[in-house]
Structure 1
Amino acid sequence: MSQTDPSEDARHAAKMVKIKAARDRMMATKQGEKGLIIVHTGKGKGKSSSGFGMILRAIAHQMPCAVVQFIKGGWDTGERRLIEAHFPDLCQFHAMGEGFTWETQDRARDIAAAGRGWEMAKRLIRDEAIRMVLLDEINIALRYGYLDAEAVLSFLRDEKPPLTHVILTGRNALPELIELADLVTEMTLVKHPFRDGIKAQPGVEF
C-alpha cells in the first residue's frame, strides 16, 4: 500500500475546505424552485435515455409524471415495458408516433400523428398534479414542421404550470426553443458503433 505525504494531505485538506466554503456561499443564494423547460439535443446518443432517467428519478420521488413519444411510437422499448409494467400509477405513457419519417413516408400521416401527440401533451402539461412531462423526440417533429413551432413555444411560455418540468428531446432543437429553455444539454457524437456495422441493440438503444 502506498504511503501518503502528510504535507500533501494537509494542502489537499486546506484546498477542500476553501472549495466547500465557496460552494456553501453559492448554495446559500439558491433558494427558489420553478418548473423547468429542459432540452436534450445534439447528434450524440443519449437524449431520450437522459430524459427517461429523469422520469425514473421523478418516479422514485413519488412525483406523478407522463411521457409522450412523438416519433418512436412503434418501438417496443425497455423504458415503455418498465414504466407500464411497474409504475402505471405514477407515470402515464403515450406512444403517439408511427415510426421515423423515412419509415412512414407519408407527410400527412406524420403531421396528423404529431398533432395528436401535441394535443395529448398539452392536456398532460396543464394537469398540475403531473410534475414532469417528457416530450420524447418532439424536436424532430418541430424541425420537420409537423407542429406549429410558435404555438408550442407560446404554450410552454404562457400556459405551463409554474412547478411543472417539461423535457423536450431530439436533435436539431430550434434556436427559439433553446432560448426559451432553462436547461439545455447538447449530446456530442464522438464514436458510435453503427458506423462500424453494429445494429441497434436492446438495453443500449431501446
Structure 2
Amino acid sequence: MMTADEKHLKKMKAIKEKQDQKIAAADIERGVSILLAGPGKGKSSSAFGMLARSLGHGHKVAVVQFLKGAMSTGEERFFTSHENVDWFAMGDGFTWETQNRQQDVDSAEKAWAKAAELLADERYNLVILDEITYMFKYQYLEFQPTLDALKNRPTTMNVVLTGRGPKQELIDAVDTYSHILEEKHAFKDGVKAQAGIEW
C-alpha cells in the first residue's frame, strides 16, 4: 500500500507529464491578442501587470487610454518615467462626465488614430488599448478598423484590450479572452474610491 507521500509523487509525476506534453505541442511563436472584459474590477490592472512584465524583459511598450485622460493616475505617473514606455491618455474622462457626445467622438477618433499608428509600428512588443470596448458600445468608433489593425499588426506584437461589454466579433478575433466578474465591491458598500486602488 502506497504512503501519502508516494501517492502525491505519483500524482505530481502524471500532472507534470501532461503539462510537458502541452508545452511541447505549443510551438508557434508569434504575438497574441488578449481581451480583458466584464463588469469586474481589475481589467486595466491586469493589463498593466503585463506591461510591467514586458518592461522586465526590456521590451518597448505603448498604452492608449480611451477614457482616462481627464485625471492623473498612479499607473501613468509610474510607467511614464520608464524610457521604454510611450503613454497616450487621450480621453476626456468617463462619458457621463463630459455629457458631450461630439466631444467624446472627437477624442475617440484622435485616440484611435494614435492606436492605429502604434499597431503598425514594429518597434513595439506590447500595445495596450485601455477601455477601448466603450468606444464601440457607444458607437464613437467604427468597429472594423480595429479588427483589421489587430489582424495586420506586426507578427511579434502583443496587444491587450480592456473594457466592458465587448462585441462578440472582438471576442472571436482575439487569441485570449478573460471575462472578469464582480462578486463584491467596496464602493457598493459606500467605501470611497482611493488612490493606489482605483487610480
Give TM-score scaled by structure 2 length: 0.97
Could you tell me which residue of structure 2 aligns to residue 3 of structure 1?
Answer: none
Q: In 2, distance between residues paired with 1:197 and 1:106?
A: 28
CA RMSD for the aligned pairs?
1.0
Choose from 56, 79, 102 the match for 2:96.
102
Q: In 1, distance between residues paired with 2:148 and 2:122?
A: 18
| Cα contact 2:119–2:149 (8 A) shared by 1 | no
Could you tell me which residue of structure 2 aligns to residue 20 of structure 1?
Answer: 16
Q: What is the deviation of 1:155?
A: 2.1
Is 1:91 the counterpart of 2:85? The answer is yes
Q: In 1, distance between residues paired with 2:50 and 2:71?
A: 20
Choose from 37, 41, 66 the match for 2:37.
41
| Cα contact 2:38–2:179 (8 A) shared by 1 | yes
Q: In 1, distance between residues paired with 2:142 and 2:31?
A: 23
Could you tell me which residue of structure 2 aligns to residue 79 of structure 1?
Answer: 75
Q: What is the deviation of 1:150?
A: 1.4
Could you tell me which residue of structure 1 aligns to residue 113 of structure 2?
Answer: 119
Letter in 2 for 1:57: R
Q: What's the secondary structure of 1:111's corresponding residue?
A: helix
Q: How many pairs align?
A: 198
Q: What's the secondary structure of 2:41's corresponding residue?
A: coil
Deviations along 1:15-70, one digit per CA (max 9) or x if unpaired, are 11111111112211111111111100000000110011111110111010000000
Could you tell me which residue of structure 2 aligns to residue 147 of structure 1?
Answer: 141
Q: Which of structure 1's runs of 4+ aligned residues deviate more than 6 A?
A: none
Could you tell me which residue of structure 1 aligns to residue 28 of structure 2?
Answer: 32
Is 1:196 the counterpart of 2:189? The answer is yes
Q: In 2, distance between residues paired with 1:117 and 1:15?
A: 51
Q: What's the secondary structure of 1:169's corresponding residue?
A: strand
Could you tell me which residue of structure 2 aligns to residue 57 of structure 1?
Answer: 53
Deviations along 1:136-179, one digit per CA (max 9) or x if unpaired, are 0001111111110112112222x211111111100101110000
Give TM-score scaled by structure 1 length: 0.94
Choose from 129, 135, 142 the match for 1:135.
129
Q: What's the secondary structure of 1:17's corresponding residue?
A: helix
Q: What's the secondary structure of 2:69's corresponding residue?
A: coil
